[in-house]
Amino acid sequence: MSTLDARRIYVRLPNWVGDVVLATPFLRRLRAAAPDAEIVLHGKGVALRLLEPESLADRHVGVVHKGLLGPWREGRRLRADLGEIDLAFLLPNSLRSALTVRAAGARRIVGYRNGRSLLVKEGPFVEKEGLFRSVPMIDYYLGLLEAVGVDCQEVPRRPVLSAPPIANEWAEEFLTRQSINAPGLRLWAINLGGSWETKRWIPEHAGRLVRLLRRRGITPILLRGPDEQDLADQTCAAAGERIPGADEVVGLNELTSLLRRCRVLITTDSGPRHFGIAAGIPVLVLIGSTHPGYTAVDYPALELACEEVSCWPCHLKVCPLEFRCMRALTAERVADQAARLVGRQLTVGVS
């Protein structure tokens, strides 16, 4: 069947923002398959704020209770606030999410059953290939819909986010504050941060990239997270200048709008890469310790810069060796690959 017969559908969102963006194809297909159901999204506040402009759900409920008894308390709160849940989808593969929705009294619970089959009775098992499960996250989430009979074969494997007018206004004001809002500027966005140390690009490399881009008539924008001021300062020191964007955090709700004004995004394998794809611009991803199979999408303007050294992919958060995978991605290599990507996409267009 292609539609779902349920009055109220609950979705536990992923915890990581990048995964939330990758879940948008799932949420759009769910909305189409259950047009008359009340869809409730449950997750962290930052994820809910990001999805609010997309109109993919009827209610957004933030996570309140944490700690050892958090799942039970959170479930009881959901039961009191929502009433009966006919169908629940668990996007995180965690025991906490399963315990929470069990306490909420959901009639049907659909999720990946690895390690929690006593709590989750519907859904597939993940088959690993060697040590890792290199299943693209978009397919991973859509697999839950397929498990209950929803046809996802024609669903585009690409995340899409809208750009509300207020976000567009903010992006224009940001470029003006940074003195880079003149017509004709070639803006290239650079993100070298990441939640793991092994996902971050080397500041000295990024600083040299900025100098290379300047010589080629390109204006760089440095994207930084709220906890990455030191990383931005090191990059500026290596570049020998204060890079636009180094002193201001771009909010997630405004990031798509800002990226639509750039020619390309050069980024690590972290959340901003998915926003670049959602914005529809060319994206060059600098791969460190992680296998790119997890975040594969159907997007012709995406390229990877990856050095498959002997210890790759380790999926370690901290490198115990010499960080060879990232050190091999020099500024010259990155600049040349990004230039080829931009040139090709300007010729054929980005679909």
Domain with 281 in it: what CATH number? Answer: 3.40.50.2000
Burial environment of residue 197 by CB neighbours within 10 A (0 to 12, 13 to 18, 19 or more): middle
Decide if 154 is inside a domain.
no
Decide if 2 is inside a domain.
no
Q: H or E stretch including 49?
A: helix 45-51
Among residues 119, 147, 175, the one where a domain terminates is 147
When pLDDT is averaged across residues 41-50 and rounded to a whole number, the result is 93
When pLDDT is averaged across residues 34-62 and rounded to a whole number, the result is 94
- 234 Cβ contact list (under 8 Å, min separation 6): 203, 204, 207
> Both 197 and 320 in a single domain?
yes
List the one residue out of 147, 13, 30, 5 whose CA is nearest residue 92. 13
Among residues 117, 147, 177, the one where a domain terminates is 147
Among residues 115, 147, 179, the one where a domain terminates is 147
Whether the pLDDT of residue 346 is over 80: the answer is no
pLDDT band at 295 (very low <50, low <70, confident <90, very high): low
Whether the pLDDT of residue 91 is over 60: the answer is yes
Residue 183 in tokens: 């017509």
Cβ atoms of 288 and 170 closer than 8 Å = no
Per-residue pLDDT, 199: 82
Per-residue pLDDT, 21: 93
Give the count of alpha carbons within 13 A of 272, CB side only: 32
pTM of this prediction? Answer: 0.83
Q: pLDDT digit string (tens) for 167-195?
A: 999 999 999 999 999 888 999 999 998 77
Average pLDDT, the chain: 89
Tell me what percent of the residues of the chain surpass a pLDDT of 70: 94
CA distance 37 to 8: 5
Tally Cβ neighbours within 10 Å of residue 149: 11
CA distance 72 to 67: 10
pLDDT band at 197 (very low <50, low <70, confident <90, very high): confident
Domains held by the chain: number: 2
> Both 334 and 190 in a single domain?
yes
List the one residue out of 125, 123, 83, 79 whose CA is nearest residue 102. 79
> Both 139 and 224 in a single domain?
no
Whether the pLDDT of residue 351 is over 50: the answer is no
List the one residue out of 225, 257, 174, 281 whose CA is nearest residue 46. 225
Per-residue pLDDT, 321: 78
Burial environment of residue 154 by CB neighbours within 10 A (0 to 12, 13 to 18, 19 or more): exposed
Decide if 156 is inside a domain.
no
Decide if 160 is inside a domain.
no
Provide the residue range defining the domain that includes 284. 166-348
Q: 200 or 214, which is more confident?
A: 214
> Both 200 and 322 in a single domain?
yes
Whether the pLDDT of residue 225 is over 90: the answer is no
Coil/strand/helix, residue 129: strand
When pLDDT is averaged across residues 26-55 and rounded to a whole number, the result is 94
